Amino acid sequence: MAESCNSGATLAVSSIIILICLFFNNLNLIPVAEAIWLTIPSTGTKCLSEEIQNNVVVLADYYVINEDRPEHTPTVSVRVTSPYGNNLHHVENVTHGQFAFTTTEAGSYMACFWLDTQEQHVETTTLSLDWKIGIAAKDWDSVARKEKIEGVELDLRRLEGAVEAIHNNLIYLKGREAEMREVSERTNARVAWFSIMSLGVCIAVSGLQLWHLKRYFQKKKLI
């Protein structure tokens, strides 16, 4: 009887966990990477940027498609830079490739694509970019094989990673909000001091004008 109760309880817990997993998946709280399609102009640069916090894994794959002439795929140049302008990935004359790095500074990371000089006669060039960040860049198949987990346990690991990523993101946003509030307070204080100084200068200039006019009229014996 006890074994039957334990089996029923385990089944109930497993069912609840599965429902929770499905619920979170439906809410898209677990990051899912989707390909981004960019149209590269014949001249100029097409850039994509994203705000990323510190110590986050970024993985991306890209490849070029020529819609006008599928048999002739033009080559592009790619440059990925950090918020402080450091080059994280730079290649030229490629039709596909990938880059991966772990962020060392928080801010806006930018990936720029442009056609090579000899290919600028192409009118329309489409580039597919599969940009994965944080938990979405983790290879869960490898984790499952390495740790020999599957099913509900693997879903729980994914949920744990998603919760941790959301928590870290909330901490990052809280820090950014505190920085912005501090900057706003400093700006308001400077504006207040500037307003007081401007008012003081106006009062001083008005007093000097009254003094000068009074002396002028006294010299002219008008008062």
Show pLDDT as tens, one digit a residue, over the chain (223 residues). Answer: 444 444 444 444 444 544 454 444 443 444 444 578 888 887 888 898 888 888 888 888 998 887 666 667 788 899 999 998 889 999 988 888 988 888 888 888 999 999 886 544 556 688 888 888 877 766 666 666 676 776 777 677 777 777 877 887 788 888 889 989 999 999 999 999 999 999 999 999 999 999 988 888 888 777 6
pLDDT in tens, 142-198: 666 676 776 777 677 777 777 877 887 788 888 889 989 999 999 999 999 999 999
Domains and CATH numbers, the chain: 36-138 (2.60.120.680)
> Which of 168, 67, 78, 164 shows the shortest CA–CA distance to 125?
67
What is the value of pTM for the model shown? 0.59
- Sign of the C-alpha dihedral computed for residues 139, 141, 147 and 151 taken in this order: positive
For residue 155, what are the contacts with CB-CB under 8 A and spacing of at least 6? 17, 18, 21
pLDDT, residue 181, reads 92
